Amino acid sequence: VLPPGVIFGGQNGEVQTEQAVFLPAGNATGYGVATVRAKAVEAGRAGNIRALAVNAVYGTALYVRNLTAFMGGRDSYSIPVVIPRDTQTALHAARAALSCTESSD
């Protein structure tokens, strides 16, 4: 059994298993095969890796590969947001400017 959280490295990134997985023994007719959900270790676009970027043998009997690409990761970004305090600050500044204009007339 492989526990959740195991990290496997690839050519351009690392992936981490999200759940435990039982690895069945192989036999004379074939290898034991198991599939497990994994996520990219690095967030954002850097976590987007192509299919088979992880394609390696670990130890003597564990062959790991990602059959599909990891995609959809986006880098974080900031969006300016107006909050009530911003509106009040602008309103006070506008009133102060108007009162200076009125007193100079």
pLDDT of residue 12: 82
Task: Quick: pLDDT tens for 45-74.
Answer: 999 999 999 998 888 788 899 999 999 999
pLDDT of residue 30: 81
pLDDT of residue 105: 58
pLDDT tops 90 at residue 75: yes
Task: Quick: pLDDT tens for 11-51.
Answer: 888 999 999 999 888 887 888 889 999 999 999 999 999 99
**Domains of the chain: which residue ranges?**
7-76
pTM, whole model, 2 decimals? 0.66
SS3 state at 25: coil
SS3 state at 31: coil
Question: How many whole angstroms separate alpha carbon 63 and alpha carbon 55?
Answer: 7
Question: How many whole angstroms separate alpha carbon 29 and alpha carbon 48?
Answer: 35
pLDDT of residue 83: 94
